[in-house]
Structure 1
């Protein structure tokens, strides 16, 4: 009997700095293990409200300050450029999320590259990902039809909302968040090594 292809549900927000700081390590890990990734963009502010989290702007000043320190440290470790105070953040994440949903359904391009380029646009390039022209450019750059920015908006909205509901039921409370098909959960880009370990099936790797 053939072994089952590993699968990862990937919950994230196109506004999340820590999702950006993950780079494309998830895609590298998935390729290493032959795993399929299902990309599930969601409304992170609504997720916080539903799961007891607090938006960054409403956190205690000490928490806000440490968040910036941690972002800077992680950027230094990964070598990714990072603007701690991007020009267009927070912004409306829906248009970019709908485009990712449409791209996943349509195929034909590099979805991981699209997700990372969208996050890089926010956190390193000061681009406004709520603008149609930016979304179209990001789609095209990742090998997708830029017209996806204008098609399937109703479906995109439905799946975007559905992703939030699925996330809450699955125990997701932040981003990035990874869930394997056997139910193991991993929160944060700094847990990707643990995800890799788990997919290797090593002793003590259960989530």
Structure 2
């Protein structure tokens, strides 16, 4: 059985657009997934990237077109300029880390709920009540929003270091044990083909 390390940021529009497709690919090939939320802003500075706020207008305009095209293509509701973006990624990331450690709920559902809250539901995923609701709806104890703070902070920082070491420079990023990497929700079909031995 193979394994996929899934590096992503909870404020990444492209991670939101990935929807449940990673989980579908993983299930198809019997692969396990470790969710590794990390600080996307920090990784830009360490890997030669540029945060959206500092990009040239032509790049931002193309990004806007691309995001709207993909949301329509995938049938996902999408707000190009959500009310609470950017926001502090740490609290939602800590909750995902704590939920993954605790087990017993729908981790993929939690991740997708937090991303959807940001990009389609005009909610601030840095707020405790939003995180608690997402945890509860995914079958987790909402108190993980509090109890997982310490281990969440440590793992969140470690995820960033591991991301840099693994060659990650954006979100979403899918890394296999042999170092094979796929960047972007639009590369999930390639991940599927690779796991099938066709690519």
Q: CA deviation at 1:152?
A: 2.2
Aligned partner of 1:174 among 162, 170, 175:
170
- Output one character per residue of 1:96-125: Cα deviation in whole Å (capped at 9) or x when no partner: 000000000000101111101100000000
State the TM-score, normalizing by the size of structure 1: 0.95
Q: Distance in 1 between matches of 2:184 and 2:48?
A: 17
Structure 2 unaligned regions, length at least 5: none
Q: Can you give the 5+ residue segments of structure 1 that lack an aligned partner in the other structure?
A: none
Q: CA RMSD in A?
A: 0.6
1:184 to 180, 183, 187: 180
Which one of the candidate residues 184, 192, 197 is aligned to 1:196? 192
Residue aligning to 2:132 = 136
SS in 1 for 2:6: strand
Matches of 1:112 and 1:152 in 2, distance apart? 18
Q: Greater shift after overlay, 35-44 or 145-154?
A: 145-154
- Count of aligned pairs: 199
Q: Give SS of 2:147's match.
A: coil
State how far apart, in whole Å, the 2-side matches of 1:181 and 1:27 are: 17
The residue number in structure 1 matching 2:149 is 153
Compute the displacement of 1:180 (Å): 1.1
CA displacement at 1:154 relative to structure 2: 1.1
- Runs of 4 or more above 6 Å deviation: none
Instruction: Report what 2:8 is aligned to.
Output: 12
Superposed displacement of residue 31, structure 1: 0.6
CA distance in 2, matches of 1:181, 1:141: 32
CA offset digits 1:128-154 (Å, max 9, x no partner): 111101100000011111010000211
State which of 47, 59, 64 in structure 2 corresponds to 1:63.
Answer: 59
Partner Cα separation in structure 1 for residue 115 and residue 14 of structure 2: 10
Q: Distance in 2 between matches of 1:11 and 1:86?
A: 22
